[in-house]
Amino acid sequence: MNVDITSPSAPAPNFISTIPSGFPINKVQVITSAQNTTTPVETVDASIHAPSDTSGKGKAVDFFNPTCAFSSDASKVSVQSTSSRYYAAAYLRDAPDTFKSKFTTNRVMYDEVDRAFSKLSSYGSRARCEGSGDKKRILVSFFAQADFTSSTSGPCADLFDLVFVQYSPADVKRNVKAKSLFVTDIPLFLTETQVHSAFSRYGSVVRCNLSLWNHYYTAIVQFSTADLIAQFDDTWAILCLSNSLRVCPASYSKVQRDARRQHVAVLAGIPKNIKADLADIANQISAKAINIPLSYTSYKPKPYVYMNFFSQETLNSALELTVSFKNRGLTWHSSNDVKNLCHMCG
């Protein structure tokens, strides 16, 4: 209906007037509607976090927390099953020339291998390549041993007589670990080439990868043979451009790794910018490794050094010795006292 809003009659309190802007207010139809005064908790759309102390006209939903069923003892159940995957690999160094000339890119090789093995129901995920050079290989996997056996029993005619052999990722990982070192306390100003060269003094290095950890680098250094790692059973640190780097065989367990940091003492009061000069002191007191921490802000050496020892007896013997460097007396402290040392003079 037409309402003259210039009328002196007062609007009803429960009505809202909506007027488009730009029109004369005395010539506009006004649609009025009653405001909803229903309490939110009384509707089905009410929040699940609202109190449910009202009936909600019989439509309120009762929310509850389900209880988790306890799992039965896996060792006593009637049916036991585990997921098995069988891996096979084809080394490209042994691949027929016809295969290598026809499939020149990794993507084309993947597609052709997938096409050849997709007829087997248990064929796993997409084929992929690992390694480089003579160790480059195509990896495939199967969930059924029968399909795995048929694929590795002889050359694959669909792939120009490409041969797949049994492959164990776990064995490869153990083999790599047996030939690798885990290196810590590498300053950020050292490069991968410099670290690689430092370890080349101990044998042929085939891989050296640096990773950032806090304000230092860590590294995995892999040698060509596992017998080169034996020398690091007794060597806990090496020098790289006068910086002491801690080393540990990658095959060591956590207990073996922690043992190298169990017996520690701090020698404080060393002059500034002293690094490799402390190696002579370490040799005289039978310390297995040393580390001069770097300031987090300035990245300059702090005036104290951590000394790691093989045993508590060796540590106690070192604490009985008085040590000086360049006519300056040094003092022994425990690692717990470092927070109380002066970062300027030690």
Give 66's contacts (C-beta < 8 A, 6+ positions apart).
none
Is the pLDDT at 339 greater than 70, yes or no?
yes
| Separation between Cα atoms, residue 232 and residue 292, nearest integer Å | 21
Q: Cβ distance 217 to 224 under 8 Å?
A: no
Going by pLDDT thresholds of 50, 70 and 90, the confidence category of residue 9 is: very low
Backbone angles phi, psi at 62, to 5 degrees: -90, 110
Coil, strand or helix: which one is 210?
A: strand
Q: What is the mean pLDDT of residues 216-239?
A: 96
Residue 277, classed as helix, strand or coil, is helix
Residue 248, H or E segment: strand 243-249
Fold identical between 86-167 and 263-340? yes
Query: The CATH number of 86-167 is which of 3.30.70.330, 3.90.930.60, 3.40.630.40, 3.40.630.10?
Result: 3.30.70.330
CB 275 within 8 A of CB 244: yes
Residue 47 in this model has a pLDDT that exceeds 80: no
State the Cα–Cα distance between residues 252 and 182, nearest whole angstrom.
Answer: 9
Q: Is residue 49 over pLDDT 80? A: no
Give tens-digit pLDDT for 217-228: 999 999 999 999
How far is 260 from 247, CA to CA, in rounded Å?
Answer: 10
First to last CA, the chain: 92
Residue 175: its pLDDT value, please?
93
CA distance 213 to 296: 13
At residue 211, the 3 state secondary structure works out as: strand
**327 pLDDT tier (thresholds 50, 70, 90):** confident
Q: What is the DSSP letter of 312?
A: H
Give the Cα separation of 11 and 97 in Å (integer): 94
Q: Which CATH architecture has domain 263-340?
A: 2-Layer Sandwich (3.30)
260 contacts 289 by C-beta, under 8 angstroms: yes
Cα 262 from Cα 248, distance rounded (Å) = 14
Mean pLDDT, range 32-40, rounded to an integer: 50
Class of domain 174-259: alpha beta
Residues in Cβ contact with 305 at an 8 Å cutoff, skipping those fewer than 6 apart: 266, 267, 268, 270, 278, 290, 291, 292
Sorted by where each begins, the domain ranges of the chain are: 86-167, 174-259, 263-340
The CA distances from residue 127 to 163, 168, 209, in Å, are 14, 15, 26
The pTM is what? 0.66
Outline where the chain has alpha helix (H). Answer: 97-102, 106-117, 145-152, 169-178, 192-199, 254-259, 279-284, 312-319
Res. 290 pLDDT band, cuts 50 70 90: very high
pLDDT at 298 over 60: yes
Instruction: Report pLDDT digits (tens) over 69-89.
Output: 666 676 677 776 666 899 999
Long-range contact set of residues 316-324: C-beta below 8 Å, sequence gap at least 24:
317/285, 317/286, 318/265, 318/285, 318/286, 318/287, 319/265, 321/285, 323/267, 323/281, 323/285
Predicted pLDDT of residue 44: 47
Mean pLDDT of 291-315: 92
**pLDDT surpasses 80 at 319:** yes
C-beta of residue 157 within 8 angstroms of C-beta of residue 210: no
**Which of 111, 132, 117, 125 is CA-nearest to residue 164?**
117
Q: With bands split at pLDDT 50, 70 and 90, how would you rate the model's confidence at 115?
A: very high
211 touches 219 (CB < 8 A): yes
Q: Is the pLDDT of residue 330 over 70?
A: yes
